[in-house]
């Protein structure tokens, strides 16, 4: 899988579509099977490699694993097939201001900055193109040593040369192209745009030069393809087979699945945001209701407290009222007793008075009947007057005014 941010997956999938699908095998296998190879043909293939890398570099993406095994043919049945870059397993997006370091790649093709664990950039791919061009034109590897350590030492020292045995018939423009790519200082190394503008890429040898060296070129081509075949066989025997192109369609399917998963994730994210808004709205409503209920609860508590106070007040008044009623009832009982006693005394005295009056009346009647036996009416009058005065005094001390008035009237009437 590619080691860059998720949003770059679709961009890499577009790159894969742009470069096409794989069906023709590796470029070097194809060239090794050819009977002859001209520098012009090599230039055309290198130009295609540059165009593919330019597509990546324009998007700030470095491949970091450019090598013959990762350069495939679209269709090897045509004379000049188109090529495609594969295996983006080490690809990385280069961001301005962000330092990126790593140690990876195939030792034979890695740039010095990778070996030295220095900040990496797009220039690392240009070094690999220089190595590929060197091998394509000579059939030999510029830095390959007896072991990995020797190979890496040759790379850091930029220890290579154009062996006359391999480059005797190679143009100076081709050598200049390689020299300007195999530069340790990344600032002085050709960029992808500069490489595309290099004269070896933009111009071809004239037909006159081809005719002039035609015979010799045939032998050279045979030698170059033979060496290239030897290099390819040696490379395949020392390295595990590259089956990346076989699995490319699987990679494309994985990218599609990732894109689909990303869309689903976006939908889930939108649903989550919507749900979050609903939850926040519910929380807001709950908080408002909670505040309202708290206020209502406080009001109810206050009213309940007031009702309790009023209830206690009523209970106190009720107790006082019961006490007053008891007191009144007690007073009424006492008054009833006194009233009954007075009534009894009144009845008794009335009875006695009635008897006394009856006795007096009898006496008065007796006095009236015997007036002749005494000294005329003087005695009866004096007696009656004295008796009235005595009874009046008695009645004034014992009876009511109404009774006295009644008695007085009766006595007066009797006297008359």
Residues marked active site are found at 65
Phi, psi of 357 (to 5 degrees): -65, -40
The candidate with the shortest Cα–Cα distance to 6, out of 259, 220, 241, 208, is: 259
Residue 144, C-beta contacts closer than 8 angstroms, at least 6 positions apart: 108, 151, 154
User: What region does 171 belong to: left with phi over 0, alpha with psi -120 to 50, or beta?
Assistant: beta
Burial 187-219 (b: 16+ CB within 10 A, else e): eebbebeebeebebbeeebeeeeeeeeeeebee
Question: What are the backbone angles phi and psi of residue 135, rounded to the nearest 5°?
Answer: -65, -40
Q: Are 160 and 182 in contact (CB under 8 A)?
A: yes
56 HSE (CA, 13 A, CB side): 32
Phi and psi (nearest 5°) for 26? -80, 145
Cβ(59)–Cβ(19) below 8 Å: no
Q: What is the DSSP letter of 85?
A: E
Which residues face 85 on adjacent strands?
Answer: 71
Rounded CA separation 4/9 (Å): 8
Beta pairing partners, 92: 62
Q: What interhelical angle do 401-415 and 378-398 show, nearest 10?
A: 170
């Amino acid at each position: 899988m590619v080691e860059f941010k998720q949003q770059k997956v679709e961009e890499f999938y577009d790159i894969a579509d742009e470069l096409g699908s794989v069906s023709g095998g590796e470029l070097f296998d194809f060239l090794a099977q050819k009977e002859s190879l001209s520098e012009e043909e090599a230039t055309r293939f290198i130009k295609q490699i540059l165009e593919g890398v330019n597509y990546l570099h324009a998007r700030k993406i470095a491949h970091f694993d450019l090598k013959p095994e990762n350069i495939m043919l679209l269709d090897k049945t045509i004379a000049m097939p188109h090529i495609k870059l594969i295996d983006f397993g080490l690809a990385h997006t280069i961001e301005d201001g962000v330092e990126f370091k790593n140690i990876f790649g195939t030792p034979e093709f890695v740039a010095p900055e990778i070996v030295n664990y220095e900040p990496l950039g797009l220039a690392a791919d240009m070094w690999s193109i220089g190595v590929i061009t060197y091998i394509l034109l000579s059939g030999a590897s510029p830095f390959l040593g007896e072991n990995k350590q020797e190979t890496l030492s040759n790379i850091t020292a930029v220890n290579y040369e154009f062996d006359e045995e391999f480059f005797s018939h190679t143009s100076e423009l081709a050598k200049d192209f390689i020299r300007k790519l195999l530069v340790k200082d990344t600032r002085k190394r050709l960029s992808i745009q500069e490489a595309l503008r290099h004269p070896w890429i933009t111009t071809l040898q004239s037909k006159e030069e081809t005719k002039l060296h035609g015979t010799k070129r045939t032998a050279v081509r045979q030698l170059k393809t033979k060496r290239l075949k030897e290099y390819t066989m040696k490379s395949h025997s020392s390295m595990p087979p590259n089956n990346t192109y076989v699995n490319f369609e699987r990679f494309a399917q994985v990218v599609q699945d990732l894109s689909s998963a990303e869309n689903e994730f976006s939908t889930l994210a939108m649903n989550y945001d919507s749900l979050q808004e609903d939850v926040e709205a519910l929380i807001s409503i709950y908080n408002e209701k909670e505040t309202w209920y708290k206020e209502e609860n406080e009001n109810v508590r206050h009213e309940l407290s007031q009702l309790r106070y009023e209830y206690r007040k009523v209970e106190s008044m009720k107790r006082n009222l019961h006490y007053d009623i008891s007191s009144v009832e007690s007073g009424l009982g006492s008054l009833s007793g006194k009233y009954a006693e007075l009534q009894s005394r009144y009845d008794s005295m009335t009875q006695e008075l009635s008897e006394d009056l009856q006795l007096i009346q009898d006496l008065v009647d007796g006095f009236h009947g015997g007036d002749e036996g005494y000294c005329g009416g003087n005695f009866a009058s004096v007696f009656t007057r004295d008796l009235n005065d005595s009874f009046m005094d008695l009645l004034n001390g014992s009876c009511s005014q109404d009774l006295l008035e009644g008695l007085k009237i009766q006595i007066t009437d009797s006297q008359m």
